[in-house]
Amino acid sequence: SASNLVVGASSAYGIGLHIRGNMAANGVYGGTYDATTVPGVSATGINISGNGVRTTTINGGIAIDRALTATAYEANATAVHIGANTIIGNTPTATNASLIVRGALNAVSISESASAGAYGVVVDAGASLPRITNDGSLIAQLSGEQGTAAAIIDNSNTLQTITNYGALRIRLDTQGLAG
């Protein structure tokens, strides 16, 4: 029988998901080739979600110690996506954060489309992520004349605290692809 997924905290650090190396997610490049328009493919660095019936729980929270970058061309780039039916516990750190960024969290979308965007952390309705602590850099960058960028989007209404000791930025390059 199917059951809920629970990831326990590691005994060494007490963190459920500990990213200690560099990670990259690259969307497949879109564009126009031989008069044919090919849509871009979104890139997501970390995507954690339940399946609508079952939940996913990360006890001990998430810590990102190095660089996590999501890059997409003519599509969305999301560094961390916490989907519905997901519960992220707190890390055993002084800040007791659910997500702690010690390195670099980057989302970069290069697009001329209004439907594309760059998003650092997205928390969906039905998820739980109470605290974010940024000791490093959390950057959402959109290069293009249209589209959206956001460092943190909380659609769950569970995010209670954002503590920032580092760089929390949105970069917009309106020069677009030619710039």
Per residue in 25-46, pLDDT (tens digit) is 999 777 666 777 777 899 999 9
Give the C-alpha separation, 23 to 131, whole Å.
Answer: 22
Instruction: Specify the pairing of strand 31-33 against strand 36-38.
Output: antiparallel
User: In a 3-state reduction of DSSP, which class is residue 176?
Assistant: helix
| Strand-pair partners of 161 | 131
| Strand-pair partners of 160 | none
| Strand-pair partners of 150 | 119
Residues of the chain with pLDDT under 70: 1, 11, 31-33, 94, 175-179
Residue 11 pLDDT: 67
Most distant CA atoms of the chain, gap in Å:
56
Half-sphere exposure of 93 (CA within 13 A, CB side): 25
> What's this model's pTM, rounded to 2 decimal places?
0.90
